[in-house]
Chains A and B, each alone.
Chain A
Amino acid sequence: MFSLIESFRSAILSVKAHGFRSFLTTLGIIIGVSSTIAVVSVIQGLSHSINQQFEGFGSNSISIRSFTPREERMKGKIARISANDVEMIRRHSEGVEFITPTLSSTIGGTSPVKYKGNQAFAQIAGTTYTYQDVQNIDIKYGRFLSYSDNQTRRKVIVIGEKLREDLSLPNNPVGSFVNFAGEWLKVIGLAEPRGSFFGFSQDNFAILPYNTMRGLNGNLLEPDIFVQLQLKNVDDLDQIKAKLRTILRKQHHLEPDEDDDFKIETPEQLTSGISQLISTMTVVLGGIVSISLIVGGIGIMNIMLVSVTERTREIGICKAIGAKRHHILLQFLIEAVVLSLLGGIIGIVLGYGLGMLAAAAIPNFPAANVPLWAVGIAFGFSAFVGILFGILPAAKAANLDPIDALRYE
């Protein structure tokens, strides 16, 4: 049995003998593999952290928000979840652990808050004490909203670090008074800073009791409320979802042929949406990578053909002293695979480094995460490319006539 080790030794020797050329040859593979690994690691890191955030949310929760289809919006209709709707949900809340309504001052926008002549804009939400668990808010100073804050419509507020800075409040702002919508509110808590996400500060917010917020908004604006429900038992999820839908359709006076003007979502739905996005991205990336690997493979084939021509005489010598067809075939095939695997390994290492660098360069971006399957696929694919594009030059070498090869100058 012919020694495979001998083929590997000779392949590595030959790759080393033409160091720079080998490097240039593998460059196509290196670039292809490293760019994929870098992008996959960043995406995977992102999806990992998104999933973690949803895990905190709990799988036994339901969220309800208003939804206006595009055509409706163009007609000037805007769907809302009103305080009445929330009240209705609360009345039919068998099987629900707690309800967390969130009332924003302006949807997606910011509102002014004042302190001693300073004015800053922040996202203001009115909600209940359960919001702390739902959103995983940690308190640095003071406390979060309590049940009674809401019940008695206390004029209190919990603020984020960014808002505290913008208003030049003391480091421990508890006890200070800030002005929002013409009312003085007592700061009762400062949230732990959470940093920024994609360049947006997550600390530019203020939270006050839901009922206080309703009072402040008054009748100025018909509110649109975002509702989160925590269920007692996850098995009731579908049943409760169906019941909520019936309630809201009735509340909104929807005819049977009309679509829902709200959305009832579970964390699974949200995460499955994200996973779908991620798998689409992965497929697109896979396509790009296969193209770049094919280009890299052609580079390897090209240089292997040159190498076979250069070493025609060597092949002749080997055949003269007893090398069979498969010995020569294997030797050149292994050389091609060694080249492409080398490119694959360098690419994986480089791509991992690039991914880490990218994740580190973007503030508060989750750490890069290279899944083992990506490394496996990159490795396997490079080996496959080596075999695929090595077979032609190797066959050319193996089929050389020993006399012609020996005579080759």
Chain B
Amino acid sequence: MSLIQLNNICKFYSMGDQTVKALDHINLTIKQNDYVAFIGSSGSGKSTMMNILGCLDQPTEGEYLLNDKNVSLLSQNELADIRNQEIGFIFQSFNLLPRADALHNVMLPLVYKGVSLEKRKKLATQALEKVNLSDRMDHIPSQLSGGQRQRVAIARALVTSPSILLADEPTGNLDSQTTRDIMQLFDELHQEGQTIIMVTHEDEIAEHCHRVIRLSDGQIIEDYVNEKEVALV
């Protein structure tokens, strides 16, 4: 079953009198429980891909079907709902609210979803337990290590049970040991059935994924199945 269907997606930016083709007629299908990595050098269009897939941005041309729903025509507020309920973002720089403790950071998406306080607390606690941070719930981000912050961010992404986990260089700010821990967490989430899409320029990270898509100048130049990883499963 196809979770994501991109038909002729284009994203053009005009820089003065020049038009930059960030994404150039992309056709792509991502299935449920896929574990996909977008790789490519900077300027290859992977960030734009991430923004379009995450419904932060809309394509200039083309059709984006998410769960068979065309989201390329939705309004800003409808996109906010999609981001809230279908997508869990994980960023390179964690992007937690600095003044809120771990629990409140994880509860925040549920606030926008309109979940009652009691249920918010319950769901956020469960999400934090899942990333092994139940003992750090009342810590604010500055009291947490990089790995712990990223775990909070993952918990926040998971708390609404989204269709897709969208991670943008999730280990870019982490040391190698923490990177291994975080990637292991992603692997576990994938095994539990979570669809994960990752954007990275590190090959070791991409090696964890089952499907690797290489972008260059806004086009897909390579799309292959990572045989080694698939074999392990």
Which A residues fall within an 8 A CB radius of B?
A: 1-3, 5-6, 10, 13-14, 17, 313-314, 316-325, 327, 402-403, 406
Residues on the B chain within 8 Å of A320, using CB:
54, 56, 83, 89, 95
Q: Is the CB of B99 within 8 A of A2?
A: no
- How many Å from the CB of B217 to the closest CB on chain A? 20
Contact with A along B85-123 (1 / 0, CB 8 A): 100010100011111100000001101111001000000
A326: nearest chain-B partner, CB-CB: B77
Q: Is the CB of B112 within 8 A of A403?
A: no
Residues on the A chain within 8 Å of B95, using CB:
313, 316-317, 320, 406
Q: Is the CB of A323 within 8 A of B112?
A: yes
Residue B42 at the chain A interface, CB threshold 8 Å? no
Interface residue from A1, A10, A314, A317 paired with B114 (Cβ < 8 Å) = A1
A319: nearest chain-B partner, CB-CB: B80
Interface residue from A2, A313, A316, A402 paired with B111 (Cβ < 8 Å) = A2
A318 to B107, CA, bound (A): 12
B84: nearest chain-A partner, CB-CB: A322
Residues on the B chain within 8 Å of A17, using CB:
99
A112 to B113, CA, bound (A): 87
Contact with A along B179-221 (1 / 0, CB 8 A): 0000000000000000000000000000000000000000000
B109: nearest chain-A partner, CB-CB: A321
Residue B81 at the chain A interface, CB threshold 8 Å? yes
Residue B156 at the chain A interface, CB threshold 8 Å? yes
**Is chain A's binding surface mostly helix, strand, loop or mixed?**
helix
Contact with A along B66-91 (1 / 0, CB 8 A): 00000000001100110111000101
A187 to B77, CA, bound (A): 91
Interface residue from B84, B100, B114, B117 paired with A321 (Cβ < 8 Å) = B84
- How many Å from the CB of A407 to the closest CB on chain B? 9
Residues on the B chain within 8 Å of A5, using CB:
117
Residues on the A chain within 8 Å of B160, using CB:
322
B108: nearest chain-A partner, CB-CB: A321
Residues on the B chain within 8 Å of A2, using CB:
111-112, 114
Q: Is the CB of B85 within 8 A of A314?
A: no
Q: Is the CB of B56 within 8 A of A322?
A: no
- How many Å from the CB of A77 to the closest CB on chain B? 79
Residues on the B chain within 8 Å of A6, using CB:
111
Q: Is the CB of A317 within 8 A of B77?
A: no
